[in-house]
Copies of this chain bind each other. A is one copy, B any other.
């Protein structure tokens, strides 16, 4: 028996005794002839490895008012994450990401292809994903992460790795610039078979998990502060009336993208491509993302939304 499988066995037995029989760790330790701390660790392992699954059900009648209003107005499923009144932005993001991580786990099943964007929110989600046993899951990066300063390989590898590990999935990186200097380069590269294979995978995703970028706010979204856009680019976006982006694709407050030249150079999937993906999970938090979220809702690129309470309130209360 391998070390790994004996650990799983022990963890399983400890988990059964703890969660099903309600023994104390002390009692389990005696029975299994190990120290109590080992039992504590076995249980941690059991939870982390998905041997133990803890679900919190939200019965329909317990949905919050905000969730119901979002559902009515936009026809999507919303999860409003309660946030303490005086919580920091970082705190909100963290909490929203934890909830989102559970939604991702719920959405991924056998043979699913999961498209993932990147950004601060996505990184936080990756850190919190619970493991889930699923077969033949594929995780595919939806937009490039390279820029003038970095190739983005290690950054996106860490993020994708988080997703890949959680579902024991095959991971498909997309090692291209986030935004090309020249749209022709992009077109040329898109014809490369190694690249077009990934593009096909992206287009056939069952689930797309993404955050939203926002031009305003502090801290700025990664895309606007990380060396991806130069001064001219930013000015172009302002002129075009852009309020935010989804996977490095920029849109206006009414959800439109036509005439936004920058998108010709973007590595991300067009919003049309996105809308063909059946399950589109958007995770977003913080008041600064208000206009960005409004735009994304108008663009109908969201089918399921995880949002913090403050932002949810802003979006439903001030008309939309």
Contact = CB atoms under 8 A, between A and B. Distances in A.
A26 interface: no
Given A50-B57, A56-B15, A99 B20 contact: yes
Contacts of A84: 31
Nearest to A97: B21
Number of copies: 2
A56 B5 contact: no
Contact of A13 (B16, B82, B133): B82
A198 interface: no
Interface in A1-53: 5, 8-9, 12-13, 15-17, 19-22, 31, 46, 50-53
A318 interface: no
Contact of A12 (B17, B53, B55, B56): B56
A280 interface: no
A5 B62 CA distance: 8
A56 B20 contact: yes
Contact of A99 (B16, B46, B52, B57): B16
Contact of A54 (B9, B54, B95): B54
A289 interface: no
B99 A62 contact: no
17 contacts: A9-B62, A12-B62, A16-B99, A20-B99, A21-B99, A31-B82, A31-B84, A46-B56, A50-B57, A51-B56, A52-B55, A52-B56, A52-B57, A53-B55, A53-B57, A54-B54, A54-B55
Given A19-B56, A20-B56, 19 more contacts: A5-B62, A12-B56, A16-B56, A16-B99, A17-B82, A19-B54, A20-B98, A20-B102, A21-B95, A22-B98, A31-B82, A31-B84, A50-B57, A52-B55, A52-B57, A53-B54, A53-B56, A54-B54, A54-B55
